[in-house]
Amino acid sequence: MNALKKINWSGWLFFGLLLLAWELGARGAPKLQLYFPPLSRVLVALVASVQTGALVSQFMITVGRFLEGYFLSAAIGVALGIILGYFRSVHQLFETFIEFLRPMPSVAIIPVAILMLGISDSMIVAVTVYATVWPILINTIDGVRHIEQVLIQTGRTFGLSRRRILWQVILPAASPYIVTGLRIGLSIALILVTTAEMVAGGKGLGFFILDEERSMNSGNMYAGIIVVAALGYALNRLFLALEAKALKWRHGMMARQAA
C-alpha cells in the first residue's frame, strides 16, 4: 500500500536548491566563509574528521551517555509510574512534590549536578535522567490510570497473582501511553546530553560542536551538527520501527474490534 509511495520530487528539488544556494552563496562571499563555509567544504571536513577518528570517538561517547541515561530513565520512569498510577494514596503523597518540581526547566539542574558530581560522565547521565524521567513518568501514570477497572478485576477473579496482573494486564494495557512517554523522552534525552556536554564537558558531540565554533573551525562545527542530526533521525526511525513491531498485537486487536 504505502510501500509504493511516490518520491516527493518537488520537496527534494527545493531542498537541493537550498543546498545549492548555500554552496554558491558561500562561494560568492569569501568574507563570510569564516562563519559560513560552502557545503562542499563542510562535507570534506565531515569525511576528514570521520577518517581521523576524531568525530567517531566523540560520537561513541555521546551515544554511550545517551543510552545509559535513556535506559535508566525508562526503567525508573515506568517503574515509578506504575506504582504512582496504581496506588492512589501513594500518588496523593507525591503529587504536590511533583507539581512543585515539574515547572522548573530541567536544564536548571545542571549547575546542581556539577556541584554534586563534578564534571564527569555520571553528571551528564544524571542530568539526562532527571529530565527524561518526567515525560515517561507522567505518561505511565496516565496510562495506568486509564486502564479499565474491569480488566484488573477480571484478572483478580481468575485468581491471577499480583505479579501476573502487573505483567499481563497492567503493562500491556498501559503500553500505548508508556510508548508515547518513551518517544518524547528520546528527543529530550538527546537535547540534555548535548546541552550538558556544552555547558560542562571535555568530550562528546555537544562539546565538539561548541569547541570547533570557539576555535573558528566552522567546517568541523557544521560536520558535528550533521552527525547529531543524523543520530536524532536514526534514533527516531529505530524507535518507530520497534514501536510498530512491539505494538502490533494492539493494532490487530483494534482492527478486530472495528470489524
Partner 1 sequence: MRWSNLRGVLFLIALIAIWEIASRSDLLNPLIMPAPARILGVFSDLISSGQIPWQILVSMKRAAAGYLLAAAVFIPLGIVMGLSRRIYCLFEVTVEMLRPVPPPVVIPVAILFFGLEDKMKIFVIFFSCAWPILLNTLDGVRSVDWVLLNTARTFGLSRAKTILQVVLPAASPQIMTGLRVSLPITLILVVISEMVGSTDGIGYFILDSQRRFRVAQMYAGMLSLAILGYTLNQVFNLLHRVLMSWHWGMMKRME
Residues forming the site for partner 1 (CB under 8 A)? 8, 10-12, 14-15, 18, 35-36, 89, 92-97, 99-101, 103-112, 114-116, 187, 190-191, 194-195, 198-199, 205-206, 209-210, 212-213, 218, 221-222, 224-225, 228-230, 232-233, 236
> Residue 35 or 71: which CB sits closer to partner 1?
35
Q: Which residue number, 54 or 114, has a Cβ lying nearer to partner 1? A: 114
Report the nearest approach of partner 1 to the CB of residue 195 (Å). Answer: 4
| Contact residues for 258 (Cβ-Cβ < 8 A; gap 6+) | none
CB of 36 to partner 1, least distance (A): 8
45 Cβ partners below 8 Å, 6+ apart?
37, 217, 219, 220, 222, 223
The nearest distance, CB 49 to partner 1, in angstroms, is 15
Backbone angles phi, psi at 42, to 5 degrees: -65, -40
Residue 78: which residues within 8 A CB-CB, separation 6 or more? 136, 140, 178
**Closer of 68 and 212 to partner 1 (Cβ):** 212
Nearer to partner 1 (CB atom), residue 25 or residue 111: 111
Q: Number of helices (H) and strands (E), helices first, in the chain? A: 12, 0
Q: Whole-number minimum distance, CB 160 to partner 1, in Å?
A: 30
Amino acid at site 252: G
Q: Which is nearer to partner 1, 110 or 169 (CB)?
A: 110
Q: How far apart are CA 37 and CA 28, in angstroms?
A: 11
Could you give the CA distance from residue 101 to residue 106 in angstroms, rounded to a whole number?
A: 9
Nearer to partner 1, 111 or 252 (CB): 111
Q: Where are the alpha helices (DSSP H) in 102-148?
A: 110-117, 121-145
Q: Smallest distance, Å, CB 14 to partner 1? A: 5
% helix / strand / coil in the chain, to the nearest 5? Answer: 85, 0, 15
Minimal distance in Å, beta carbon 58 to partner 1? 12
